[in-house]
Every structure is written in structure tokens, then in C-alpha cells.
Amino acid sequence: MNEPLLEFRDFGFKYNAQSQPTLYDINLTVRRGEKVLIAGPSGCGKSTLAHCVNGLIPFAYRGEITGSVRVNGRETRDLSLFEISRTVGTVLQDSDGQFIGLTVAEDIAFALENDCVGEPALHDRVRRAAQIVDIESHLLHAPSDLSGGQKQRVALAGVMVDDVDLLLFDEPLANLDPATGKAAIELIDDIQKETGAAVVIIEHRLEDVLHRDVDRVVLMREGRIIADMSPDRLLAGGLLTENGIREPLYVTALKYAGVDITSDLHPHSIRTLTLSEEEKERVRAWFRAAPPSPPKPERPVLLDARDIRFSYDNGRPALDGVSVQVERGELMAIVGRNGAGKSTFSKVVCGFETQQEGTIAFLGAEDWAGLSIKERADHVGYVMQNPNQMISKTMIADEVGLGLRTRGVPEEEIARRVEDTLRICGLRPFRKWPVSALSFGQKKRVTIASILALEPEMIILDEPTAGQDWRHYTDIMEFLRELNRRGVTVVMITHDMHLMLEYAERAVVFSDGEVIADDTSAAVLTDREVIRRANLRETSLYDLALLCGIGDGRAFVQRFIDYEREARA
């Protein structure tokens, strides 16, 4: 535990294509057996720091290096990328970008084949790695056939098979449903304990990562490390919210109730939280003082999907009699496990896929079956989960304005709408940048901006906040709320339970191609049967209610939602 495995000393880095450094004066040590979480707002340098750890800097991304970074006591600039990979294993945010083999077994074996490991040792090590990550039953499957959580397990097995000393995870939760994300954190923790490897996790979803203990949290801002401390100490201060990172919901609720958050409360997890009877009474008093929730307004139906059935070529029903009504002017969420049919439903609505049975009516029209994708896009905008599948222009401003130009909008109007949208989405400083220079999260914002600029009547967003820090998450969602107040209907497909609680008036829950619930967010996230079937995760607010002796957990969660909305207003 005391032996340094990774050491940054007065380290700085400037990309050749940029005028200013991305990293300044980095001093960081990670020892064997440690688990370290690196957090910070988008663009703070987290990904660049990761590239310095795994050798992509300086071997793939060129630039000017100052100071020192050592892995296993040796300067990375004196090692080859291959040599670094023997010590550092990286699991990327986008698992699809990490696959090499045509089957799971081939992909896991890739590093061993490069090392010329012979049979039967190769098969034994592949099977052992697959057992550790619980993917052994899928060894003959193609990676493309797996769910998001399964893909991540394969990627993890592919780096573990080489017995690396340090495991580096770049936003491992970004594309996972809540229960799978919880399982991923548990898996990472179990592997760290079994192998003794050091673990570095880069992630925005702090509360989810802290489901299992971490030794330290490293907080970054503008290319510098501004904090390196235990989770309890960090949560007891105000650094997280000041720097665009969302604190756990139960911590926010305690603050609303007037409870002073100190490290003595062990606030890093709801499992370890220690409250006095006086502090519990403060929470109960705050709950009792809640005004009644306002009645839900009555709205006309905008989109009416009835008995939608759709199967892909494999014959398995992706949508099995789905009926969903979307009301004009509402802001709603569609949630459920990976592969439940959420994205397929949105593709059918937009015309990317055609249902085998059922009808879709919009604005009172009998059926949308005869409308083209373009005709539907005049009314419904769709933002895909993977930004790389939407981007077609080199420069950011051109990409955001592309849809307007294809519709013949005058250039003056295009310039105004592009500028306004870029500013709201936090992209105005990059308006003259090429898209290729952006991070995954920044590309996501570009695709959202390109659809928002078209001002559709209804917008469907597939994981709108994936890869976003809390500040940009809040900027995007507040912009969507403002659009919603002006009459734009917003539908969000999301794995982010925080987003659902904070912003969605209503949640439609998918499981195995069916709708299993349609209720308020508070009702969904306090229904254990729905949570189990849909791979959701019970909100920590419910656990806080139980801890404080509040019997009606659903009402407590709704109290928090209403209070949050009042505070924002």
C-alpha cells in the first residue's frame, strides 16, 4: 500500500494545437491498492490527465511536457506505449471503441496473443478473466450483441487478463442503467480487493461511485488539482458545488433541513451516515412543513402511440404492445434497463424504424405511417445517445447551423440562433473550434445544440446529460425547462435518476419491450417492484426518510423535488 505506483511531480502539458496548457503543476501520487476518484467540471483536464497515465500522451497526442510522470518508478516518456500497457489497463467511456475481436473470447485474448501466449495457458487465462467479471457464458457472443453493462465487463476482462497493476476507468457509468452502474462499481471494488491493483476512476456521478468506499477524491479545476482528500472531508465542505459537481442527494436534503454537514457524520455514503436524534428531528420538521404539491395541469395529447409492436431481424420483440401518450408542453422521462426498448420506441416515433403493428398520431392526425423522416423531423427533433453518429461538419458553428441551412433559413437568422444556442449550451467559447478537438461530453452538447437550434415542437433526447458535469448538466436542463415553459414538449430517455427526479414531471418505465409503469418520478423511485424489473436504483432520499423515521418515503421524495423546483424558480 505504501509503494508509489503512479507519481506526477510538477507536471504540466500543452497540446501542440493550443496556445495555453491544459494541465498545470500536477502533483499526485497513487499507491498500490489505493482507489482514487478524479472529479471535476468538463474541460478541467481529467481526460488529459488520464492520457498521461496510460501513455496516449506523449505517444498519440503530441504536445509540450514539463515536470515528471512516473509509472512503476520509470518516466513514461522513456517507456513505449506497449510497456506502459503492461502496467496500466484502461477501460474507455465508449466500450465499442475498445473492441478488437469478433467474439468476446477473441477480444479478451487480444493482449495475450500479442504476447505470444500459447495454448492451453491462453484459454485458461481468458476463462479466468471472464469468470472474474461474470461474462464466461458469453464467450462465443459478438461484442455488438451485448448490453452496455456486458460490454463494459468484456472491456474490463480485456485489460485484466494481462495482470496490470493499475486499472484506469474513464467515466465507466456514462452509458449504464442505474442498477448496472451500481453493479459495475461493486465489480470494480471486488476486483480491486481480489487483485490488489490500484484503481483510478474518472467520473461525474459522485454519489454512484461512492456506493463503495474510495480512499481519496481528487478534485480538478482549470487544469489544476484543487483538492486531494477523503470523501468525508470533501463532502463536509463546499468545494463540490462550487466546482460544478453534484453532491449526493441525501446531503442536499440534509442541508435543506438545516443539518450541518461535518466529516464526523461520515456523509460519503448513506450506508455510513450517522445522525443524532436532534438532526433526524430537523429532517422530520422540514418534511412536516411541506406545502401540498400543486395539482397536475390538464393538457391536450400531442403524441399518441397505441399498441406499437416492433421486432428487429432476430425476431425478438423490441416493442411488445407499447402505448404511450405525450401531452403538449410536458417534460417527461422514459427510463428502464439497457435494451428495454426506450431508444427503439423513439426511433419508431421519428421514422428511423417502422412498426409492424400499432399507430402513432401527432397533433390529432390519424396516423404518421405515411410521413417521411424529414416530415416528422419538422415536428419532432431527436438527439441520439452517441454524438459521433450525428456529427457531419468539421466546425462546431457549421454543425449547429446545418439543419437551419438545409431548411433555407436566412444567414442572419442562422447566425443569431446558432450564437444563442451555443451560449446556452456552454459552447460559445469553442464556436470557432473543430468538432474533433472536443471531448465526448462536449460533442454531446454540440448535437443537442444542433437540434435545439431548429426549435421543434417536441424534442426527444437520448441520454442528454451523459458525460456532463453538474454545471453543464444544469445549464442544458434549465435551457430545456425554459423551452418547455415556452411550449416545447421535452421527452428524455435517461439512466440518470437525479435528472428524472429533478426535472421530469412524469416517468414512463420500460422493461423487456413493455411499459410497466407510468407515474410521477417520486412514485417510480419508491416502488421496489418497478425498480427491480426495470433495473433502476432506489433514490438515497428514500433511504434518508427511513433513517429519520419518516414512514411515507414517497411523500418525502416528492417534498424534496418540490423544494428543489421552488429553489430554482
**What are the pLDDT digits (tens) for 474-496?**
877 887 888 888 788 999 998 88
Identify the band that residue 506 occupies on the pLDDT scale cut at 50, 70 and 90.
Answer: very high
If DSSP states are collapsed to H, E and C, what string results for 141-165?
A: CCHHHCCHHHHHHHHHHHHHCCCCC
Give Cβ neighbours of residue 69 (< 8 Å, ≥ 6 apart). Answer: 6, 7, 8, 9, 11, 52, 53, 75, 76, 77
Q: What is the pLDDT of residues 272-303, one digit of tens each?
A: 999 999 999 999 999 999 887 778 788 899 99
pLDDT digits (tens, 9 = 90+) for 392-408: 999 999 999 999 999 89
Mean pLDDT of 227-236: 95
92-105 pLDDT, tens digit each: 776 777 788 888 88
Residue 541 near residue 533 (C-beta atoms within 8 A): no
Q: Is 37 helix (H, G, I), strand (E, B) or coil?
A: strand
Residue 355, helix vs strand vs coil: coil
Q: What's the rounded mean pLDDT across residues 115-128?
A: 82
- Position with higher pLDDT, 294 vs 235: 235
| pLDDT score, position 343 | 87
- How many residues does the structure list for the chain? 569
Decide if pLDDT at 1 tops 60: no
Q: Quote the cell numbers at residue 388.
A: 459521433
- Which residue's entry shows cell 457549421? 398
Edge-first strand order for the sheet with 216-221 is: 88-91, 166-170, 198-202, 35-39, 216-221, 224-229
CATH 3.40.50.300 residue ranges of the chain are 4-239, 301-540
DSSP characters over 414-444: HHHHHHHHHHHTT-GGGTTSBGGGS-HHHHH
> What's the CATH code, domain 4-239?
3.40.50.300
Q: What is the pTM of this model?
A: 0.81
C-alpha cell at 114: 500479442
Asked if pLDDT for residue 466 goes beyond 80, the answer is: no
Average confidence (pLDDT) over 342-348: 91
Q: Give the tens place of pLDDT for each residue, 14-68.
A: 999 888 999 999 999 999 999 999 998 878 899 899 999 999 988 888 899 999 9
End-to-end alpha carbon distance in the chain: 49
Q: Which CATH class is domain 301-540?
A: alpha beta
> Is the pLDDT reported for residue 112 higher than 70?
yes
Mean pLDDT, the chain, rounded, equals 88
